Amino acid sequence: MTSLDQLREGDKATLISVEGQPTLRRRLMEMGLLPGTPLQLIRRLDLGGVLELEVRRSRLSLRHAEATHLHVVAIA
């Protein structure tokens, strides 16, 4: 298990748990990032400190700092 910000571009993974303060957690889950959800890291924007994901057929961007609260298991 690792945190989402550790993934490389193109990696696929399954979300295991969502941590962090309640506001962040709720927002992430409301955007469809629920435990058990498969996702793919599309792009790392290291300059802006942002990641782009594909989850539930749609795209989401979140900060590295926020991505550390999402724990995932990579799918080979």
Taking the C-alpha atoms of residue 57 and residue 24, their distance in angstroms, rounded to an integer, is 22
Q: What is the DSSP letter of 39?
A: E
CB of 65 to another protein, least distance (A): 9
Angle among Cα 16, 22, 26 to the nearest 5 degrees reads 65
CB of 15 to another protein, least distance (A): 12
Binding mask 14-53 for another protein (x = CB under 8 A): ----x--xxxxxxxxxxxx-xx------xx-xxxxxx-x-
Tell me which residue has tokens 């790392």.
Answer: 44
Sites of contact with another protein (CB under 8 A) = 18, 21-32, 34-35, 42-43, 45-50, 52, 56-63, 66
